[in-house]
């Protein structure tokens, strides 16, 4: 069945009149009695709860795992103090009345209706304190237990909050789970892994899988639009976490064990070498299995774990005709254009745009006819790399460097308008933009190494031979020592660029062959079927269909004290 409640709405909130924000800090983790009062509260359909863990202690995290229902659990890995914790908790509620209290004041919840009576009876009353003892005077808004009108309190405005942005907006935690996928990732980020998460979510939904989407804001990329699904409720029994391993552990700290417990956790990781980093090994305990977008990546991951590693092809949108956005609007001039693109955050040395510029300058004399456009993003992250690119372009008027953010639609239009796409990468996990060019039917010149060989052949692309070399020691902060990648042969790349330019009929035919092949192997329908098939296999192994009563076999998100 498809997921209901699509969009940005929050199903289950109809009739909710009161939000309760409770803050626990490291000095006083929740007692069983305090958690019990909150669980009783969650039996009321008119109440929603935000439990704020201010400091992220193991004791607090484990105690809050007992809470399910109309509850959100906000983990602040570093203590912010009561005022900031309350302010951030307020960002998660919309009920007209809000009770704010510290964990030690949960006794006030026993008389919640009496406490709220003054606010309900008289619209001029702005603040009410509980009619029970033990609510000692506190910082903001005046006591450690106080009720206010929601429209009189602005989230992020309390002293010390500083308008802090929530990296993770915790979803509602239902008491029971349904079949489907909770897709978690950088879904609001204009970057490759963000785009991958959006594509897999849409392909899953279109194939009939129930889907909820949950963006993790732990990135510095420009914003990107995404289609929110599932109504902000973590209702499904399988998590698809589309985050690279370096973000898995920070995400786990913000998301808490409740995001994982009782759910089967699939990691969708992107990587470009056959050797893994320390982050991969540290993050493996957080997942039950891995999905890989290419066979190259599947083999690399499977060599380092005994957990299942399954190939699920990347969904590549079907393109036809010409882009609707004019080429000038996306930064391309008239005439035959070779295009290469990369984000400095994805490592300029790996994308090797300098090699592309060198090959183009070797293939063509200045002003001979074709131009090369180098589309970049994130130059501020690598000033040295940006300066090197500027020097490489030099005074060649036929080499254009475009440094700007484009939306997904604009980026696709730029690729669709270019007459040939070039990727002289040293390593590639998948290669979103070369695949996009093939979907448009454009010829591609690319290094014959790594993930792009899942969809590129000698018959549908122009493959550049290479030498396998050691990754430079200067990059060992990112890649493990002893790792290797490709060094494309630039003289051969120049020859192929020239071939594309001189024999337009043959290059156009090769582009159309690539379009046919990638539609067959990487369409959203193909990817959706692969996900459905794998979920059915997981269901059969766990015995959780059709009744779906059994939890996942382990709880990788549960917290345990060290030692």
pLDDT of amino acid 204:
98
Q: What is the pTM of this model?
A: 0.90
Q: What is the pLDDT of residues 108-126, one digit of tens each?
A: 999 999 999 999 999 999 8
Instruction: Enumerate the domain spans of the chain.
Output: 18-152, 178-315+528-542, 327-522
CA pair distance 291, 239, nearest whole angstrom: 12
320: CB partners within 8 A, 6+ apart? 441
Tell me, yes or no, if the two domains 178-315+528-542 and 327-522 fold the same way.
yes
pLDDT of amino acid 7:
35
CA pair distance 428, 398, nearest whole angstrom: 27
pLDDT of amino acid 545:
66
Q: What is the pLDDT of residues 22-68, one digit of tens each?
A: 999 988 899 999 999 999 999 999 999 999 999 989 999 999 999 99
Q: List the CATH code of the domain at 18-152.
A: 3.90.550.10
> Residue 164 — very low, low, confident or very high, per pLDDT cuts 50/70/90?
low
CATH topology of domain 327-522: Rossmann fold (3.40.50)
CA pair distance 228, 225, nearest whole angstrom: 9
State the chain's mean pLDDT as an integer. 90
CA pair distance 81, 158, nearest whole angstrom: 11
Q: What is the pLDDT of residues 355-382, one digit of tens each?
A: 999 999 999 999 899 999 999 999 999 9
Task: Give the 3-state secondary structure of 257-310.
Answer: HHHCCCCEEEEECCCCCCCCCHHHHHHHHHCCEEEECCHHHHHHHHCCCCCCEE
Look at residue 71 and give its three-state secondary structure: strand
Give the number of other CB atoms < 10 A from CB of residue 388: 16
Q: Angle 360-364-367 (CA atoms, 0-180°, nearest 5)?
A: 115
132 phi and psi angles, rounded to 5 deg? -130, 160
Q: What is the pLDDT of residues 457-510, one digit of tens each?
A: 999 999 999 999 999 999 999 999 999 999 999 999 999 999 999 999 999 999
Residues present in the chain in total: 563
Higher pLDDT, 153 or 413: 413
441 phi and psi angles, rounded to 5 deg? 85, 20
- Residue 1, pLDDT > 50, answer no
Q: Is the dihedral of CA 62, 554, 301, 318 positive or negative?
A: negative
* Residue 254 near residue 217, CB atoms below 8 Å: no
- Residue 210, pLDDT > 60, answer yes
Mean pLDDT to the nearest integer, 137-147:
58
CA pair distance 437, 420, nearest whole angstrom: 8
Higher pLDDT, 147 or 154: 147
121: CB partners within 8 A, 6+ apart? none
CATH topology of domain 178-315+528-542: Rossmann fold (3.40.50)
């Amino acid at each position: 069945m498809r997921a209901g409640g699509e969009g940005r709405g929050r199903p289950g909130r109809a009739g909710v009149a009161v939000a309760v924000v409770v803050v626990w800090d490291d000095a006083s983790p929740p007692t069983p009695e305090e958690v019990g009062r909150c669980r009783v509260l969650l039996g009321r359909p008119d109440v929603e709860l935000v439990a704020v863990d201010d400091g992220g202690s193991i004791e607090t995290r484990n105690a809050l795992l007992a809470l399910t229902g109309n509850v959100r659990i906000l983990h602040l890995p570093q203590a912010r103090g009561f005022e900031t914790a309350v302010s951030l908790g307020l960002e998660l509620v919309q009920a007209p009345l809000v009770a704010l209290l510290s964990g030690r004041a949960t006794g006030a919840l026993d008389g919640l209706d009496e406490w709220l009576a003054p606010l309900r009876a008289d619209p001029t009353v702005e603040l009410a304190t509980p009619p029970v003892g033990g609510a000692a005077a506190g910082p903001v808004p005046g006591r450690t237990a106080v009720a206010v009108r929601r429209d009189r309190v602005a989230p992020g405005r309390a002293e010390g909050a500083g308008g802090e942005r929530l990296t993770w907006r915790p979803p509602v935690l239902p008491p029971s789970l349904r079949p489907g996928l909770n897709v978690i990732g950088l879904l609001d980020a204009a970057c490759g892994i963000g785009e991958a998460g959006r594509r897999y979510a849409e392909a899953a939904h279109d194939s009939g899988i129930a889907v909820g989407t949950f963006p993790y804001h732990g990135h510095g990329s420009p914003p990107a639009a995404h289609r929110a699904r599932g109504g902000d409720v973590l209702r499904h029994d399988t998590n698809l976490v589309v985050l690279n391993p370096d973000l898995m552990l920070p995400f786990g700290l913000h998301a808490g064990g409740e995001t994982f417990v009782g759910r089967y956790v699939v990691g969708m990781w992107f990587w470009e070498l056959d050797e893994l980093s320390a982050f991969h090994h540290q993050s493996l305990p957080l997942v039950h299995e891995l999905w890989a977008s290419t066979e190259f990546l599947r083999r690399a991951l499977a060599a380092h774990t005994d957990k299942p590693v399954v190939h699920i092809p990347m969904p590549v949108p079907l393109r036809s005709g010409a882009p609707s956005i004019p080429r000038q609007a996306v930064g391309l001039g008239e005439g035959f254009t070779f295009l290469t693109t990369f984000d400095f955050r994805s490592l300029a040395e790996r994308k090797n745009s300098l090699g592309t510029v060198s090959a183009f300058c070797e293939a063509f004399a200045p002003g001979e006819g074709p131009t090369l456009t180098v589309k970049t993003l994130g130059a501020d992250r690598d000033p040295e790399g940006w300066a090197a690119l500027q020097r490489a372009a030099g005074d060649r008027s036929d080499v254009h460097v475009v440094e700007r953010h484009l939306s997904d639609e604009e980026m696709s239009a730029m690729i669709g308008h270019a007459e040939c796409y070039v990727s002289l990468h040293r390593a590639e996990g998948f290669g979103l933009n070369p695949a996009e060019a093939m979907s448009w039917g454009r010829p591609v010149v690319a290094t014959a190494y790594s993930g792009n060989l899942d969809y590129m052949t000698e018959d549908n692309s122009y493959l550049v031979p290479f030498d396998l070399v050691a990754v430079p020691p200067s990059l060992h902060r990112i890649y493990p020592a002893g790792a290797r990648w490709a060094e494309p042969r630039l003289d051969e790349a120049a020859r192929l660029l020239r071939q594309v330019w001189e024999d337009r009929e043959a290059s156009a035919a090769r582009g159309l062959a690539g379009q046919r092949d990638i539609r067959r192997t990487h369409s959203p329908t193909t990817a959706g079927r692969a996900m459905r098939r794998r979920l059915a296999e997981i269901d059969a192994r766990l015995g959780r269909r059709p009744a779906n009563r059994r939890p996942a076999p382990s709880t990788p998100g549960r917290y345990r004290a060290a030692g």
